[in-house]
Structures are given as structure tokens and as C-alpha cells.
């Protein structure tokens, strides 16, 4: 494993060293677990007491703190930690296999340069795959699909017909992009399937988690904006629009035709109903149910979702409700007595 001096790391992340700049760092870890030869970080002030006790050789901080470890002061310690981990450990390396003869590639498909296409991947008619892509075993790329450059499709990922995938997109294992939306017309008690004639567009730098589903639009395209990250087991309904740089935590569900602005954070198991607009830079706490339009910059929690401060006050009252009920009943009896008099 390559070693770097703290000076090397600080220069890489744009930090200022306090302490021994020549100390050797070989890996990264948490405040609790880090030991000699490791670097850690402090981004949340509530963990500041742990910095005093850490056994790490170095710590990335936003400002100088009391600790026995050497320090690198940087604007954003968590981002700097990410950069340090990449410097020390790198990202997953993909095997350089070339195009396997066991892959099923249509004669009309176009494959870019330096692609690795593993055994039993299927690439259909008129599909286009850009340069430097990794297409793992079991991947299905349907007819007329376009995949950009530097994409990674992990085993058993499915891209349905006609969908458009931008550059540097990652689709994790068993994810489905472009399947039919959940659209049915109910007539005389029977549910009749509505053709889904839109597609899915994944813009540049999108990541789709394992077992996630992005449905194609009924009439309009389903769009995942540039840089957005979709967690495992997330469902995005037909015709939904997810803005740039959003984070959707695993098991969230976005109903059809809902619209999210840019830089939204949607917590685990959140449900967003269809045909509403969620503004820019909105944060929704886990298990909330969003049923109305949401203005920019809001923080919501609860089911139905309400503004966070109101929600906290409301939930704080729940424990006192039994006592309040008793007092109200007692007051009611007292009022009845006064009326009788």
C-alpha cells in the first residue's frame, strides 16, 4: 500500500499542516478506529471531544483543535477526507478484458474505444456505447439505447429500449432503467395497461443504486438531472423530474410526474406523491410523506410532512397527550358541575 506524507496529503487537499508534516500516512479511518499511520477527519463539532482521544497520526479539521495528532486545516474536512481516501486507496479497479466473444452484441450496435464488455452481456440493435465503458456480465442494453463515455454498468443492470445515458454514469447491480411506468386505466373493474411511450434520460455523472427502478414516462420523459445520486431500492415513477445534484437515500419513492428541484436531499423511506413540485435545496427527513408543493429551502419531517420546527414541536407533545387528555376530562367535569349550579 503506497504511503504519503501529511505534507503530500495537505497539498493534495489544499490544507495547512500543523505539527509534523513528514509523518507517513498509509490509510484512512474513523476517529474511533484510526491508529498510527492513519488519517481521519472532524467535520461535525459534536465529535470534537473524540479528536482529543484519537490515536490517528493525523486529522483533517476546519480549524485548529486540541489533539495529539498532527493536523491539516482545510475548508471542508469531509471533502478533503474523500480526496485523501482516493489518493491513498483509489477507486475500484476494473479488469481490462476487452470485448468478450461470449457477449451478445448486435451487428448494428456501435461500441466505442477501450470498452470492456464481459461475458453474457447483451447489447441490442442500434445501441450506442461510448468510449472507456465497463459493461459487466448479465447487463442488458436494449434497442436504440445511447450510453455515453466512461460509464459503468454493473452485473445484471438493465437499460430498456430507447433510453439515454450520459457520460460517467454508474448503474449498480440489478437496477432497472426504463421499465414501464405503473400506468393503468380502470374500466368496469378491470385495469388496462397504458403504453408508456416516453423514455428515461440519465444526465452526466448520475449514479443509480442496486435494485433501484427508474420508470419510463407515459408521455413525457423521466429525467434524472446531472450529478444526482439515487440510492439502493429507490423507485422513481413515470415522468418524474429529478433536478441536478440531488441525493435520494435508499428506499425513497417518488411518484409519477413529481418534480424535484436542484440539490434536494430525500431521506430513507420518504414518499413523494405525484404531480407536485418540490423546490430547490429541500431536505426531507426519513419516512416523511410529502403530499403538497414545497417551497425552496424547506426542511420537512413527518407524515404528512410539515416544516421541521413545527413537526418537532408537534412530536414533542405526543408523550404528554395522555396527561393532557386526563386534564381536559377533569376540566370538562368541573365545567359541568358549574353549569349545574
Active site amino acids:
238
Sheet holding 27-28, edge to edge: 16-18, 70-73, 58-61, 38-41, 27-28
Q: What is the C-alpha to C-alpha distance for residues 128 and 125, in angstroms, rounded to an integer?
A: 9
Grid cell for residue 80: 478533503
From 246, 241, 251, 249, select the one nearest 215 (Cα to Cα). Answer: 241
Give 3-state DSSP helix, strand, coil % of the chain, rounded to 5. Answer: 20, 30, 55
Q: How far is CA 306 from CA 19, 117, 270, 272, 299, in A?
A: 48, 48, 13, 13, 8
Q: Where are the alpha helices (DSSP H) in 19-160?
A: 48-53, 77-89
- Give the three-state DSSP class for 186: strand
Q: What is the C-alpha to C-alpha distance for residues 223 and 225, in angstroms, rounded to an integer?
A: 6
From 180, 182, 147, select the one nearest 163 (Cα to Cα). Answer: 147
Chain centre distance of CA 260: 14
Whether residue 304 is preceded by a cis peptide bond, meaning omega within 30 degrees of 0, is yes
Grid cell for residue 270: 420518504
Q: What is the C-alpha to C-alpha distance for residues 339 and 226, in angstroms, rounded to an integer?
A: 68
The contacts of residue 69 (CB under 8 Å, 6+ apart) are 19, 40, 51, 54, 56, 57, 58, 59
The answer to whether 216 and 202 are in contact (CB under 8 A) is: no
The contacts of residue 128 (CB under 8 Å, 6+ apart) are 109, 110, 145, 146, 147
Neighbours of 108 (CB within 10 A): 12
Beta bridge partners of 289: 271
Amino acid at each position: 500500500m503506497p504511503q504519503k506524507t501529511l505534507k503530500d496529503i495537505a497539498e493534495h487537499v489544499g490544507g495547512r499542516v500543523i505539527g509534523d508534516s513528514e509523518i507517513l500516512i498509509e490509510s484512512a479511518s474513523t476517529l474511533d478506529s484510526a491508529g498510527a499511520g492513519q488519517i481521519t477527519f472532524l467535520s461535525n463539532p459534536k465529535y470534537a471531544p473524540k479528536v482529543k482521544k484519537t490515536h490517528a497520526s493525523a486529522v483533517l479539521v476546519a480549524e485548529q483543535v486540541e489533539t495529539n495528532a498532527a493536523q491539516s486545516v482545510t475548508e471542508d474536512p469531509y471533502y478533503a477526507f474523500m480526496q485523501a481516501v482516493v489518493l491513498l486507496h483509489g477507486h475500484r479497479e476494473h479488469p481490462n478484458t476487452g470485448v468478450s466473444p461470449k457477449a451478445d452484441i448486435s451487428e448494428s450496435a456501435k461500441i466505442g474505444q477501450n470498452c470492456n464488455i464481459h461475458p453474457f452481456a447483451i447489447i441490442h440493435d442500434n445501441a450506442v456505447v461510448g468510449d472507456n465503458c465497463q459493461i459487466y456480465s448479465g447487463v442488458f442494453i436494449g434497442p436504440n439505447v445511447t450510453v455515453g463515455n466512461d460509464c459503468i454498468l454493473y452485473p445484471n443492470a438493465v437499460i430498456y429500449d430507447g433510453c439515454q445515458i450520459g457520460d460517467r454514469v454508474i448503474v449498480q447491480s440489478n437496477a432497472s432503467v426504463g421499465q414501464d411506468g405503473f400506468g393503468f386505466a380502470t374500466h368496469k373493474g378491470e385495469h388496462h395497461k397504458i403504453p408508456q411511450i416516453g423514455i428515461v434520460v440519465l444526465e452526466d455523472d448520475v449514479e443509480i443504486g442496486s435494485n433501484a427502478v427508474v420508470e419510463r414516462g407515459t408521455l413525457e420523459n423521466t429525467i434524472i438531472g446531472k450529478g444526482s445520486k439515487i440510492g439502493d431500492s429507490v423507485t422513481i415513477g413515470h415522468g418524474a423530474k429529478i433536478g441536478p445534484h440531488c441525493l435520494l437515500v435508499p428506499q425513497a419513492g417518488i411518484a409519477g410526474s413529481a418534480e424535484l428541484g436542484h440539490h434536494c436531499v430525500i431521506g430513507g423511506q420518504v414518499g413523494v406523491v405525484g404531480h407536485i413540485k418540490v423546490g430547490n435545496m429541500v431536505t426531507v427527513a426519513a419516512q416523511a410523506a410529502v403530499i403538497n408543493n414545497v417551497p425552496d429551502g424547506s426542511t420537512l419531517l413527518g407524515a404528512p410532512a410539515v416544516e421541521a420546527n413545527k413537526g418537532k414541536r408537534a412530536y414533542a407533545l405526543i408523550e404528554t397527550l395522555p396527561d393532557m387528555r386526563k386534564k381536559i376530562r377533569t376540566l370538562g367535569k368541573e365545567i359541568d358541575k358549574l353549569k349545574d349550579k
